[in-house]
A and B are shown apart, each in its own frame.
Chain A
Amino acid sequence: MDFELMANSLPKLLGATVITLKLLSVSLIIGLFIGLVFAILRLNKNIFLNKFAYGYSYVFRGTPLLVQIFIIYFGLGQIEYFRSTFLWVIFKEPYWCAIIAFALNTGAYTSEILRSAFQTINPGFIEAGKSLGISNKIIFYKIQIPIAIRQSLPAYGNEIILMMKGTSLASTVTLMDLTGVAKYIISTTFKPIEIFVVAGSIYLFMTFIIHNFIKFLEKKYSVS
């Protein structure tokens, strides 16, 4: 083990962690919004909207994230017509391609998490609201959403951690995130074990923070 190399590579890897965190936070915010919209669509009685939302989550949960990011980055870039549209301004940049792929992927999982949370809400709570004469809209915002969020916290915490590790795929589309920079250092030092141990420790530390934050939220909003 070359401990000197490990110490020397740490600042560079920590610098790259900023990109990883940026990718993670931006895609989680967009993904949460997508997830909420599609969870509501899944609960909608309109069969067309319902099937559309189901199809979206089926496709994005049923294919590997790596394939999704490749199709969005390399696949769309091959279509000449697509390159002449205004969308190309966004899709030309590897950063936005990665964000779009990650957000669509986590959005699909989040929609399922939220949907099941909505469905497990005790009907008694909604009936209690109705019997007090509260409007459906207020019941949805003040009763259903808060309970659903609380219910989905453990599963969503898992999803954040999975997504954090998923951002390492950004390096396959030329982004210099934590994994990308780790690979770059290895390409000049030829010492994969040392560098990956440091990079892995940084990922582990991020998991530790996310895990404890979710645990804190779970405690804070616990029903008992």
Chain B
Amino acid sequence: MNIFKKTIFSVLFSLLVMGSVHADKIRIGTEGAYPPWNSKDESGKLIGFEVELAWTLCRYIGQQCVIVEQDWDGMIPALIMRKFDAIMAGMSITAERQKAISFSQGYADEVASLAVMKGSSLEGLDTPAGINLTKPNAAAKKALKTLTAALAGKTVCVQTATIHQNFLDSGDVGKVNVRTYKTQDEVNLDLASGRCDAALAAAVAFSDYAEKSGKPVVLTGPTFSGGAFGNGVGVGIRKDDTELLNKFNAAINKARKNGDISRIATKWFGFDASM
């Protein structure tokens, strides 16, 4: 009995000690399923643009970090419930999210795009190369009309709780049949299987999938930015944690000035996605 009690106490004690050791580390949450932003290699190690950038930023902050994996759909609730202290998960800065959490300045920007399988009737839509939805000009408005007509009654697949879902739900391209998935991998699978007529995500997410899987996935229509697509990707931080927010903003400034963000972005995206 005595040994039993001792064991329990020592286990509880070591748990307490372990808890306090982690206390001064910055815990950064990422999804690990959205290449090239963040993903995992064959051995299950987290890799990607944001993982490398996170280590760099931590070095500038001068504090130790741990990177924690978290499913995308629970990312913001997990931050609020203090499972980690910062989000670096390709999360765009949007007004909707800013109601719940704060964001650092943006460190990178992505454009979104529709993707279809080669040979789809949605291939080669007559639209400009890119449109900005913050203050849509005449060409952008015309492009949205073209898309509304082309997508009427079609099934468009997106990852849940993303800017891409927000955009489709906003009604800017009329009433499309939106299907939501837990991960981008599942969106890609169903695009390839033909269950989705089209999918919407970061353009790089599709080119990465096409390259790795060899499937004939092609981008179509304009690339999207601004409006529902937010203002770049930043570090998400709890609203009451202004100290950490300032630390990240300062670190991003330094990393940008020293060319670190450009260098890491070019390495992972194949082009300079930094901002």
A187–B190 alpha-carbon span in the complex (Å): 21
Decide yes or no whether A221 CB sits under 8 A from chain B: no
Whole-angstrom distance between the Cβ of A105 and the nearest chain B Cβ? 21
Q: DSSP majority for the B interface?
A: helix
Chain A interface, DSSP helix/strand/loop, else mixed: helix
CB distance from A201 to the nearest CB of B (A): 19
**Is the pair A77, B190 in contact by a Cβ cutoff of 8 Å?**
yes
Q: Does the CB pair A183–B194 fall under 8 Å?
A: no
Closest to A183 in B: B73
The residue in chain B whose Cβ has the minimal distance to the Cβ of A70 is: B186
With a cutoff of 8 Å between Cβ atoms, the chain A residues found around residue B76 in the complex are: 190
Q: A78 touching B189 by the CB < 8 A rule?
A: yes
Asked if A174 is at the interface (CB within 8 A of a chain B CB), the reply is yes
- Cross-chain contact A186 with B80 (CB below 8 angstroms): no
- The answer on a CB contact under 8 Å between B189 and A77 is yes
Cβ of A77 and Cβ of B193 under 8 Å apart?
yes
For chain A, the count of residues having a C-beta within 8 Å of the partner chain is 16
Across-interface contacts of B80 in A (CB, < 8 A): 190
The interface residues of chain A lying within 8 Å CB-to-CB of B97 are 190
Given A183-B160, A187-B161, A174-B73 contact (CB < 8 Å): no
| Bound: A188/B80 CA distance, A | 14
- Chain A residues with CB under 8 A of B165: 187
> B77 — which chain A residues lie within 8 A by C-beta?
186, 190-192
Nearest chain-B residue to A82 (Cβ)? B193
Check: B119 CB closer than 8 A to any chain A CB: no
Contact status A174-B180, CB under 8 Å: yes
The answer on a CB contact under 8 Å between A187 and B195 is no
Contacts of A184 in B (CB 8 A): 160, 180
Q: Which residues from B are CB-within-8-Å of A187?
A: 73, 160-161, 165
